[in-house]
Amino acid sequence: MLGFLSVYFQIYDNNRVFDLKRRKNLLVMIVFIFLILCSFYSFTISLSRAIERDYWPTEEWQGSTPHKQKMDGTRLDEMVEYIDENSLPVDSITIIRNGYIIFEEHFRASFPEFKHVVWSVTKSFTSAIFGIAFFEGYIEDVNSKVVDYFPEIEIDDYSLGKENITLANLLTMTAGFDWTDDINWMLMVSSENQIDYILNLPMIFEPWSGWNYDTGGTHLLSAIIQKAVGNTTLEYAKEKLFEPIGISDYTWDLDNQGYYYGGHGIYMTPRDMARFGYLYLNNGMWDGEMIIHPDWVGNSTLPVIDFSGGEGYGGLWWISYGDEYYAARGRHGQMIYVVPEHDIVAVVTAYFTPTEGGYIPDQLFENYVLQAIEGPIDETSISFFLPLVVGIASLVVAEKKRKR
């Protein structure tokens, strides 16, 4: 906007148009632009107020009702009925809006304190921990070569540019390893040396020339974090991520070399999963402290890879375009949904088999949770549009007076 202002004045100065009428027009335009700038300023202030919280759930989540947080409780009850009527293998659903638990339901044998295996939701945790290590300077360049971190591993095959795989490739699943989860995951965990197994996989494409879902590559990231920070991924996460936001009840599986698995292996309660989503909803900030740099949150939740159907993939996060949310996804239906526009975090734990449809939680979330959002235009919208409307009205009135 300021750049536009400087160009505007330069045009007028070059043409020497300073007669009275032009000066009036210039004055009107200055007022109009000033009002637009005020609207943007008001919008910024409103956004800053929007992320100010009444409390932080470091110790305990506080509850509220769907109605108080502008959600349709009847629609959420219909979701429960749908789950029951269809005997869906959902274990729990937790919904946070405006920082409050407005819906929490446990099915089957689940209960609030039960630690669920979150499977590939672990990948999004690994991304966050990597981002913390990166901004603390332990990892200097995401374009560093992966093989440089593992000089102890003898790699037999360097075809298709394996030596050029970077940390960024591992973060976006563009490395090119020949990996199929249903086959290679079991072979990896049963190997004597998991890192050796991954680095000696064949390549199916050169780095950056394709995309392939790759749990092995995310395990390399965890090992790289441990090598870079000089501590285990778990201990580093405990100090820098888990404890600051109140995650306290968890376990994490180790490989044979003492590296915590980067692509799976975390067990956590739904409320702690929600804390992690809430941290991202708040751009990496927690009770006045920066836990994850906002740039890392923003960049890792932007699509690097576009798929059909309005979906993309970022830095170990899944992105939905149509409904404007992003998600951490795990096998059998473990989900953390983050909807910044509506200040919502939702967590699903379940045990869907592949034949039952692993994306049924997405359907529940989109058809019931998102459909339950209600309420009038909020303060942000009013504060943005009111000065703009006033500015446009002033310009119209001034133009009519000029023509008389």
Last residue of a domain, one of 214, 247, 280: 247
Chosen domain end from 189, 214, 247 = 247
What span, in angstroms and rounded, lies between the C-alpha atoms of 68 and 61? 16
In a domain, 254, yes or no: no
Residue 107: count of CB within 10 angstroms of its CB: 17
DSSP state of 99: T
In a domain, 43, yes or no: yes
d(CA 217, CA 192): 17
**253 pLDDT more than 90:** yes
- 278 and 367 assigned to the same domain: yes
Task: Note whether 44 and 91 are same-domain residues.
Answer: no
286 belongs to a structural domain: yes
| CATH number of the domain that residue 281 is part of | 3.40.710.10
- Judgement on whether residues 134 and 231 belong to the same structural domain of the protein: yes
- Which pLDDT tens digit goes with each residue over 25-66? 444 444 344 434 444 433 333 343 346 899 999 999 999 999
Average pLDDT, the chain: 85
Is pLDDT above 80 for 291? yes
Q: Residue 358 has what pLDDT?
A: 62
Residues 23 and 73 both lie in one domain: no
pLDDT of residue 352 exceeding 70, the answer is yes
Task: Mark whether 126 and 218 lie in a shared domain.
Answer: yes
**pLDDT at residue 190 above 90?**
yes
Judge whether 304 lies within some domain: yes
Are 311 and 191 part of one and the same domain?
A: no
pLDDT in tens, 207-243: 999 999 999 999 999 999 999 999 999 999 999 999 9
Express each pLDDT in 159-189 by its tens digit: 999 999 999 999 999 999 999 999 999 999 9
Q: Taking 80 as the threshold, does the pLDDT of residue 398 lie above it? A: no
Digit-coded pLDDT (tens) for 126-164: 999 999 999 999 999 999 999 999 999 999 999 999 999
> How many domains is the chain partitioned into structurally?
3
Domain enclosing residue 318, as ranges? 60-114+269-373
Task: Sort strands 318-320 and 289-290 into parallel, antiparallel or unpaired.
Answer: unpaired
Q: Count the Cβ atoms, other than its own, within 10 Å of residue 329.
A: 22
Q: Is 258 a member of any domain?
A: no
Phi, psi angles (nearest 5°) of residue 263 = -110, -10
Residue partners of 174: CB distance under 8 A and separation at least 6: 168, 207, 208, 209, 210, 211, 212, 304, 305
d(CA 32, CA 4): 13
The reply to whether 256 falls in a domain is no
What local confidence, expressed as pLDDT, does residue 308 receive? 82
Q: In terms of pLDDT, which residue wins out, 255 or 25?
A: 255
- Which has more confidence, 323 or 37? 323
pLDDT digits (tens, 9 = 90+) for 366-397: 999 999 999 533 544 434 444 444 444 444 44
Query: Does residue 96 fall inside a structural domain?
Result: yes
- Is the confidence at residue 16, as pLDDT, over 60? no
